[in-house]
Amino acid sequence: MEIGKAFSFVTEDEQWITKVLIGGLIQFVPLLGTIAILGYSYRVALNVARGNPRPLPAWGEFGDFLGRGFMALVIQIVYLLPLIVLYGVFAFLTGAAAVAAGDSDAGAGVIGLLGLWCLIPLQSVVALVCGFAALAAIMRYLATDSLGEAFKFGEVIATLRNHIGSFLMILAVGILAGLAAGLGVIACGIGVLFTGFYAQCVIGHVIGQAMQRIFPPQQPVYAAPGYYGPPPGYGPPPSY
């Protein structure tokens, strides 16, 4: 992957200042702004995957960004359900152990509480797997423009398993982009809105690079929705 390109491509756009300013200001809009920025970053990913030399989209397609961001949010929620349930169980058991620690059998309660906290590494692993699976599902949705493709769980897991290196690279770039976004705090905290938007664009670019590897352009994944090429055995009629 071209990591340097992911961080530099924004400023290569002739209108990047205007686009970044608009992106930063849109984040002031509660909820809708967050969904639009999410959709914008995934539109960046799709443009990169398609080989667009200027992948930073104009803001004229705001409705498209909202739609993509909302679909991506739905996919994330579905794939994070196991983690949400695990957190709920953990919180319940932790509370029960704390109550037991305050009763007469304090020793058993403390041991139970410590045992539960030892499950934190498990939570971290589940969070990582669920997050990667959600991203793989979103990438399938972007590549096919079909929400149903995101919920073919077997194929999503196969994508994750076969390209785990790409997902780890996306995670690493996401961490670096997050550190870069933190520089916005210097500007009285307001600047973080713009550096945060920039970080989302960086992540979108590296996701697009990963999509180029996972879904090569020669595959029919970029064809019109629902079209996967001619059926097996199709060919020109025989000559007589």
Q: pLDDT (tens digit, 0 to 9) for every residue of the chain, 240 residues total?
A: 889 999 999 999 999 999 999 998 998 888 999 999 999 999 999 999 999 989 999 999 999 999 999 999 999 999 999 988 888 877 777 776 666 666 555 555 555 556 566 677 888 888 999 999 999 999 999 999 999 999 999 999 999 999 999 999 999 999 998 887 776 555 545 567 788 899 999 999 999 999 999 987 654 444 434 433 333 443 444 443
Cα 96 versus chain centre, distance: 35
For residue 95, tell me if it sits in a domain. no
For residue 199, tell me if it sits in a domain. yes
Asked whether the beta carbons of 147 and 202 are under 8 A apart, the reply is no
For residue 92, tell me if it sits in a domain. no
For residue 197, tell me if it sits in a domain. yes
What's the structural domain count of the chain? 1
For residue 115, tell me if it sits in a domain. no
Between CA 95 and CA 30 the distance in angstroms is 33
Instruction: Please give the model's pTM, rounded to 2 decimal places.
Output: 0.80
Rounded alpha-carbon distances, angstroms, from residue 163 to 154, 199, 206: 14, 23, 14
For residue 179, tell me if it sits in a domain. yes
For residue 137, tell me if it sits in a domain. yes
Could you tell me the residue range of the domain that residue 198 belongs to?
3-82+127-222
For residue 47, tell me if it sits in a domain. yes
Please tell me the number of Cα atoms within 13 Å of 114 on its side-chain side. 6
Tokens of 115: 């045992």
